[in-house]
Amino acid sequence: MPQAVAYAIDSPTGRFSRTTIERREPGPTEVLFDIAYAGICHSDIHTARGEWGRDINYPLVPGHEIAGVVRQVGSQVTKFAVGDRVGVGCFVDSCGECAQCAAGDEQFCDGPGGTVWTYNSTGRDGLSTAGGYSTAITVEQDYVCRIPEGIEMSQAAPLMCAGITMYSPLKRWGAGPGKRVAIVGMGGLGHMGVQIAAAMGAEVAVISQTMSKQADGLRFGAVEYYATGEPGTMKKLRKSFDLIISTISGEQDLNGLIDCLVTGGVLVDVGLPEHPVALSLGGLVGQRRVLAGSEIGGIAETQEMLNFCAEHGLGAQVEVIGGEDINDAYDKVVASQVRYRYVIDTATFTD
């Protein structure tokens, strides 16, 4: 079996260290590719540190923002060839037959076993899945996306989660010309949301805690930037936006954001709040507003997002690090000290 060098963590309070893992020889419809870059998503941190109350299969190799180059393909693979630039996101398998899969929403698979996540899940081989903090991975061809030319590989990796997480609700809820869209939070998700919404033709604003990232927000395509830490901001923004996407995972004032919607407007949460939030239904009912949630997208929509980003020259703004930097990077992500995505260069794994 092919071996891969990886970085794994062995407990919620542990630290990442280098190890070796086995990958499958590609089956008839599988692709084995060499990973070049893997993004660090905040959900990697929540999982690795046991913060979501889920069972974790330690030692854990996280990573679901993966970009690389095909090394080997199975005998029946038709979608990819050796040398192709490819990416894998949050999941690597599903039943392929249920109503959700048939609709292109494999991330909501209702079949036996459900969606198989890229790490800390159980694959069809009965083994625990291991993610992108490694030098290679084997995946069914139907769950691999093609990275178009024109996107740097390091900038493409975060698109596999952060990019599709923002693209999907922006598309679904009609971001485009004539629409005022607000992105709440200017982190790894938010900075992609600003770029994508602006490229769709919407008039984009950023709502952040402070004005410290204003220059970046405007550079990414926002035309307005607001700080919730300044008195009167939320009152000033009442009935201002057709669509608001909140990327905040910490405490947030949902009622205040709802009041910032026009009549019939939509507030979408993608931030997986860590704690219960207070909600008054009056702001929704009285103005026919919508409160929705969204989680990544299916494979076809993810490919659509990649093609859109390539067409418009979009990519994540990244800080490239080595494997030995993962522990420090986790702490800096939690402290909001990255602009805007740490991406691990797997070439450093074998130095």
pLDDT tens for each residue of 143-202: 999 999 999 999 999 999 999 999 999 999 999 999 999 999 999 999 999 999 999 999
**Lowest model confidence (mean pLDDT) among 30-39, 251-260, 274-283, 304-313:** 274-283
Q: What is the pLDDT of residue 277?
A: 81
**Of residues 113 and 71, which shows the higher confidence score?**
71
pLDDT in tens, 202-241: 999 999 999 999 999 999 999 999 999 999 999 999 999 9
Mean pLDDT of 263-271: 96
pLDDT above 80 (res 274): no
Mean pLDDT of 304-323: 98
Q: What is the pLDDT of residue 82?
A: 98
Residue type, 273: P
Pairing status of strand 91-93 against strand 116-117: antiparallel
Q: What is the pLDDT of residue 278?
A: 81
Single out the residue of 122, 188, 219 nearest to residue 341, CA to CA: 188
Q: What is the pLDDT of residue 253?
A: 85
How does residue 279 score in pLDDT terms, banded at 50, 70 and 90? Answer: confident
Q: Among 2.60.290.11, 2.40.10.10, 3.50.50.60, 3.40.50.720, name the CATH number for the domain at 162-293.
A: 3.40.50.720
Mean pLDDT of 50-59: 90
pLDDT in tens, 282-304: 999 999 999 999 999 999 999 99
pLDDT above 80 (res 272): no
Pairing status of strand 180-184 against strand 203-208: parallel
Q: What is the pLDDT of residue 250?
A: 77
Cα dihedral 282→285→286→288 (10° resolution): 140
Burial of 41 (0-12, 13-18, 19+ CB in 10 A): buried
Mean pLDDT of 37-51: 96
- Distance in angstroms (rounded) separating the CA atoms of residues 249 and 136: 31
Q: What is the pLDDT of residue 151?
A: 97
Fold entry, domain 3-161+297-350: Quinone Oxidoreductase; Chain A, domain 1 (3.90.180)
Q: What percent of the chain has pLDDT over 70?
A: 100
pLDDT above 90 (res 267): yes
Question: Would you say 21 and 130 are in contact if contact means Cβ atoms under 8 Å apart?
Answer: yes
197-228 b/e (C-beta count within 10 Å ≥ 16 → b): bbbbebbbbbbbbeeebbebbeebbbebbbbb
pLDDT above 80 (res 31): yes
> For residue 141, what are the contacts with CB-CB under 8 A and spacing of at least 6?
29, 30, 31, 73, 74, 77, 78, 79, 80
- Distance in angstroms (rounded) separating the CA atoms of residues 168 and 105: 11
Q: What is the pLDDT of residue 219?
A: 97
Q: What percent of the chain has pLDDT over 90?
A: 91
Mean pLDDT of 310-332: 98
How does residue 269 score in pLDDT terms, banded at 50, 70 and 90? Answer: very high
Q: What is the pLDDT of residue 187?
A: 95
Domain ranges of the chain: 3-161+297-350, 162-293
Q: Average pLDDT of the chain?
A: 96
pLDDT above 90 (res 251): no
pLDDT above 90 (res 104): yes
How does residue 138 score in pLDDT terms, banded at 50, 70 and 90? Answer: very high
- pTM, two decimals, is 0.96
